[in-house]
Every structure is written in C-alpha cells, then in structure tokens.
C-alpha cells in the first residue's frame, strides 16, 4: 500500500467484524460519510473507551475534530460508553455535533465494565482497516490519522504501532519521582530509536494502533484475551502488553513512531504515591501471564528460559519482594528512592501471588497460545502473499 499524500489514494481493505452487534446498539452522529459497500471502506477507526468520562470527553473530541487529513482518507470515531452512570454519551454527541467534524461519530454501549471489554466492543463496531485507540484523556496531534495510516502503509508486515505520550499535569506540578515511572502512565519514549522492534516487545495502550486484519486473524485462530485491564476503580493492567505479544506471536512486526504524539492529561488524584503503588501492583499481577507469552515465543534468551520454570520465577520474585521491602526501611534512602523500593516491593508481591495462582494452568495455557499462534502465523503469511500478488498485478502494464 502506498503512502498517503495530498492526492487521494485507494483506501485500505477492511476485514469482517469480530462479531455482529444489534443495529440499535450503534448510534451515528455527525456529517461524515460511513462506508456503504465493500468498495467504499473506512481507512481508520479511532476508538475511544469511556467510563464516566463526561467531564473529559468534550476536550478529547474537540482535539480529534481538528484532524488534517488528505483527500481520500476516510475516517470515523467509535466511542464506547462502558457502563457509565453519567451522561458520557450525550456529552460526546453534543460535542461532536458542535465541532462539525469531517468524520462520523458512532456511539456504542458496552454494559460489561472493564477496558478490555470496551476495546473488544469498539473493534467489533469499527469499520476501519486500521484501529487506533485514544483514551478519553488523550489529546492527539492534528496529523494523527494521516501519520498512523502512513506508518502502516510503509510495511505490510507491521501489525501494531506505538506512539509517544506527552504528560500534561492538571492541578499541580510534576512530581519529583514521575520520570522514573512515566511509562506506567503511558507517556515518554517507548524505545531508544524509532522503527521495528524485537520479536516479543510491547507498547502501552494509550495511542496504540493495530491492523484490524491482524486481530481478526488471531480471533479466528482461537485467541481470547485473558487480561481485561482497568474496571472502574480497579487498576487492572497488562491487556495492552498481552495484545502486543499476541500480534507479535502471530508473525506481525511491531513499529514505534516517536513523532506520532498525543498529550496525556494527568489529574492530581493519579499522581499520588498510593495510586502509583496500586498501579504497579496491577502490572505485577499481569506479569505472570506475560511470562507465558514469552515462553511460547521465539528466541533462547535468559528471560525465555526462566519463563519455562515457574518455581524458579516464584522464588526470584519472592526474594526481590523481600529485598525491596527491607531496602525501603533504610533511613539513608532519599524520599524518591524509598518510594522506588516500595513500588518494586508491591510489584513483586503481586507477581508472586499471580505466579502461584496460575502455576497449575501455565503449561496448558502455553500450549493453547502456541496452537493459535501457529495457525495465525500461517494465515498472516498467506494474506501477505496475496497482498503482494495483488500489488504486482496492479503494477503490471
């Protein structure tokens, strides 16, 4: 697929949806066109998952409505109202109609709480060949949609794309400890350099983009996410890494574009030491499942060898939890170093609990992952060969 420019280019082909939704569940607003036939597809769908986001969503949609897209690029916004008890949907509708954006807004309601449920609902609703996730506290750059499409257009082997978040501190200054933990808040550089990543890397979920065909192929092969992310005030985590691991296992490349940027608005309540420790405890809980993906992946590194030995991992995590707990008691530590030790202790304690809880299922889960990954890799390779053949046919005189 060619890179987009000011000239109109053929749109991307979209795969069939993951599941059918009742027609009444989707409400369309705005003046932008929606695809009506297989020859008239949406290039990119922006998915925003909201739980009680009425106070945030207007600003997010305002920034999104300022997208500068070339002629021929067709885009839409899918807002998933995830078990909200406020007027998120009505606020979003009014904001989008007031913005008079060039794309339609589709609102769908997902009654099951949890970010994972909301994202899957949004993917099922989206008409675009490319999916890009924008949180309801993200303010994307004006070239967001164009740049995402261009990044995927350069290499048909890329299945997932990571962006760079820029923090915006609301109601206070940046905490002295923030830079140490910024990746946990989905901001800061994700890689030292732009480009393709190691075979089993992952990106944070805010600003994450993927090729929808890569995910539908995974689902067809048997993939079902085990991590569902945050749910209300519960700081579940790791669903973004699981998705990255799954797409990488299926043979797709990961690509990082540091020039693809968004502002991430961080309220004061999320910048407390208590919130930080609970956040990293969520990461620790998710890490046990991530180990299973690493064990099922390619390579022979130390991390992969340890991933096969769950008793050794439990022992190592327990030792680290004890070490950091004791280290935090040292009176000579600075305030930020003590916080670092407390965060590490919470992470490894949560990891120990999760490793113990999944010990019996780990082998069976690894076998399941390896089975669907093999089928997905075969399907992805076949699809790419077909695309290459179609491209040659188009270029032939």
Domain ranges of the chain: 23-271+376-395, 292-359
Parallel, antiparallel or unpaired: strands 105-110 and 75-82: parallel
With the CA atoms of 203, 204, 208 and 211 taken in that order, what torsion angle do they form, in degrees rounded to the nearest 10?
40
Determine the pLDDT at residue 194.
Answer: 83
Domain 23-271+376-395 has CATH 3.20.20.70: no
Number of other CB atoms surrounding residue 367 within 10 Å: 11
pLDDT tens profile 336-360? 999 999 999 999 999 999 999 988 8
User: pLDDT category, 7, cuts 50, 70, 90?
Assistant: very low
Is residue 87's pLDDT more than 60? yes
User: pLDDT category, 106, cuts 50, 70, 90?
Assistant: very high
Pair 213, 129: CB distance under 8 Å: yes
Is residue 59's pLDDT more than 90? yes
Which helix H or strand E contains 227, and what residues bound it?
A: none
Is residue 335's pLDDT more than 60? yes
Token pair of 194 as six digits:
């732009």
Pair 103, 71: CB distance under 8 Å: no
Q: What whole-number distance in Å separates Cα of residue 179 and Cα of residue 37?
A: 48
Q: What is the DSSP letter of 248?
A: H
Residues whose CB falls within 8 Å of the CB of residue 108, separated by 6 or more in sequence, listed in order: 21, 25, 26, 27, 78, 79, 80, 81, 121, 122, 125
pLDDT tens profile 236-255? 678 888 999 999 988 899 99
Residues whose CB falls within 8 Å of the CB of residue 29, separated by 6 or more in sequence, listed in order: 93, 96, 97, 104, 105, 106, 107
> Among 24-33, 81-90, 162-171, 310-319, where is mean pLDDT lowest?
24-33
Is residue 267's pLDDT more than 90? yes
How high is the mean pLDDT of the chain?
Answer: 84
More confident residue, 39 or 155: 155
Determine the pLDDT at residue 234.
Answer: 59
Q: Which of 16, 237, 33, 13 is nearest to 123 (CA)?
A: 16
Residue whose structure tokens are 């004890």: 322
Q: What whole-number distance in Å separates Cα of residue 67 and Cα of residue 103?
A: 10
Determine the pLDDT at residue 318.
Answer: 97
Q: What whole-number distance in Å separates Cα of residue 221 and Cα of residue 372?
A: 5
pLDDT tens profile 304-327? 555 558 888 999 999 999 999 999
Determine the pLDDT at residue 76.
Answer: 97
- Percent of the chain beyond pLDDT 70? 80
Please name every residue paired with 37 in a beta bridge, in sequence order, or none if there are none.
Answer: 40
User: pLDDT category, 67, cuts 50, 70, 90?
Assistant: very high
pLDDT tens profile 113-145? 988 889 989 999 999 999 999 999 999 999 999
3-class SS of residue 79: strand
User: pLDDT category, 259, cuts 50, 70, 90?
Assistant: very high
Is residue 2's pLDDT more than 50? no
pLDDT tens profile 183-199? 999 999 999 888 766 66
- 160-172 exposure pattern, b = at least 16 Cβ within 10 A, e = fewer: bbbbbbebebeee
């Amino acid at each position: 697929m060619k890179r987009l420019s000011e000239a109109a280019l053929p749109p991307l082909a979209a795969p069939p949806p993951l599941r059918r939704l009742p027609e009444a569940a989707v409400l369309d607003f705005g003046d932008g066109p929606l695809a009506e036939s297989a020859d008239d597809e949406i290039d990119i769908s922006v998915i925003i998952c909201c739980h009680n986001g009425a106070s945030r969503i207007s600003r997010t949609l305002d920034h999104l409505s300022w997208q500068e897209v070339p002629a021929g690029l067709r885009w839409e916004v899918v807002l998933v109202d995830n078990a909200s008890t406020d007027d998120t949907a009505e606020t979003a509708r009014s904001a989008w109609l007031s913005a008079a954006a060039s794309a339609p807004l589709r609102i769908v309601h997902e009654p099951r709480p949890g970010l994972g449920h909301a994202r899957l609902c949004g993917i099922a609703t989206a008409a675009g060949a490319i999916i890009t996730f924008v949180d309801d506290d993200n303010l994307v750059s004006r070239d967001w949609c164009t740049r995402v499409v261009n990044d995927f257009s350069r290499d048909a082997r890329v299945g997932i794309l990571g962006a760079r978040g820029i923090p915006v501190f609301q109601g206070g200054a940046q905490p002295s400890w923030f830079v140490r933990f910024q990746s946990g808040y989905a901001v800061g550089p994700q890689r030292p350099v732009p480009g393709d990543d190691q075979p089993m890397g992952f990106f944070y979920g805010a600003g994450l983009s993927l090729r929808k065909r890569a995910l539908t192929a995974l689902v067809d092969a048997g993939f079902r996410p085990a991590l569902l992310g945050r749910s209300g005030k519960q700081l579940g985590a790791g669903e973004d890494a699981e998705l990255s691991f799954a797409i990488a296992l299926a043979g797709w490349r990961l690509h990082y574009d540091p020039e693809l940027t968004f502002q991430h608005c961080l309220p004061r309540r999320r910048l407390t030491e208590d919130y930080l420790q609970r956040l990293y405890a969520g990461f620790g809980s998710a890490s046990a499942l991530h180990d299973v993906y690493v064990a099922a992946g390619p390579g022979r590194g130390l991390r992969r060898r340890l991933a096969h030995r769950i008793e050794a991992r439990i022992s190592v995590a327990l030792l680290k939890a004890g070490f950091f707990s004791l280290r935090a008691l040292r009176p000579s530590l600075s305030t930020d170093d003590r916080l670092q030790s407390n965060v590490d202790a919470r992470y490894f304690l949560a990891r120990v609990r999760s490793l113990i809880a999944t010990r019996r299922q780990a082998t069976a889960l690894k076998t399941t992952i390896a089975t669907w990954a093999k089928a997905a890799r075969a399907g992805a390779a076949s699809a790419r060969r077909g695309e290459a053949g179609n491209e040659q046919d188009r270029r032939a005189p």
